[in-house]
Structure 1
Amino acid sequence: MTSPNVRRRADLPKGENLCDHCSAKCCRYFALPIDEPVSRKDFDFIRWYLLHDRATVFVDEDTWYLLIHTTCKHLQDDNRCGIYETRPQICREYTTNECEFEDDWCYERYFETPEQIDEYAEAMFGPQFPQSGRRKKDSIRSRKPMGLPVL
């Protein structure tokens, strides 16, 4: 999927190096596949991920991913690699053939906050705290704090 205002590969002159026109998207994050959550405990682990700065979770083609928004420490101001000759193997194997140059990063599901994943889990499993106030067994969360007394 691409937005109409995104520069497309087809717009570039033939033989042009795609990296000369890119903002180095591939060097500004990494995503790792994670197990699809199937229990409250699984969702609570995802909640823990989302409590960390610059972490998000997305689903693409039925695969769940932990996405860490962080820039490679060797990315230079001109969006080029500062260690190109000694870059890691994963970078060497990466090509511009299927890079996200044109992608607008729309996903089936995208979670940025712990509240969003809680809401999704609640839709899947119902409320986490039943009326009795007791926690479900598969939760690793602390008990919901009591309200402060009104003075």
Structure 2
Amino acid sequence: MSAIAPPTRLRRSDFPEGENLCEHCTAKCCHYFALAIEEPVNRRDFDYMRWYLLHDRASVFIDDETWYLLVHTTCKHLQDDYRCGIYETRPQICRDYTTDECEFEDDWCYEKYFESAEQIDEYADALFGPQFPETDRSKSNTLRSRKPTGLPIA
């Protein structure tokens, strides 16, 4: 029995110069958007990031010392063949985008990558020390919420 070779991943260098890489791509750039955000400097800033990460399909990453909010969502006009359904009237940001430095062969490795509120809390704890004493955490139902006190029994 012969082993099946894994599919070969195409690289930029596999194509002749001037080839349109979009013809060979699954439109990675149309499956997310990333917005530069201010670098967090205090607990309040990290709490905002925690809020971002409590939303489905959001993450935060650092690349070249810049912080970004990454929203994993597909453009409404991306067609099944990975082409733009509004190509002639696409937004200027799409018109300005080139394949010169696109993520065609990128593995999306970042300096730091946060996918959950717990990860950003742990990072903030590493920078500033724990927000709540360990004893408070053990009484908590979630990582950051204190357990409410019970009502007195009459």
Amino acid at match of 2:13: A
Higher relative contact order (CA 8 A, sep 6+): 1
Aligned to 1:137: none
**Given the alignment, which residue of 49, 53, 74 partners 2:52?**
49
Does 1:33 pair with 2:36? yes
- Tell me how far apart the structure 2 counterparts of residues 71 and 91 of structure 1 sit (CA, whole Å): 14
Equivalence for 1:144? 146
Q: Which residue of 2 aligns with 1:82?
A: 85
Give the alignment of 1:102-141 within 5 angstroms.
102-130=105-133
2:16 counterpart SS class: coil
Q: 5+ residue gaps in structure 2? A: 1-7, 137-143
The alignment-based identity, stated in percent, is 72
Given residue 76 of structure 1, which amino acid in structure 2 is its aligned partner? Answer: Q
Question: How many corresponding residue pairs?
Answer: 136
Distance 1:10 1:132 in 2: 56
Q: Cα RMSD between the aligned structures?
A: 2.0
2:15: which partner in 1?
12
Q: What CA distance in whole angstroms lies between the structure 2 residues aligned with 1:100 and 1:14?
A: 17
Distance 2:134 2:79 in 1: 55
Unaligned runs of 5+ in 1: 134-141
When normalised by structure 2's length, the TM-score is 0.82
What secondary structure, in the 3-state scheme, does the structure 2 residue paired with 1:46 have? Answer: helix
- Choose 1 or 2 for highest CA Rg: 2
User: What is the alpha-carbon distance in structure 2 between the residues aligned to residue 71 and residue 130 of structure 1?
Assistant: 41
Helix, strand or coil at the partner of 1:10: helix
Q: Give every structure 1 segment of 4 or more consecutive aligned residues whose post-TM-superposition deviation is greater than 2 Å.
A: 13-16, 130-133
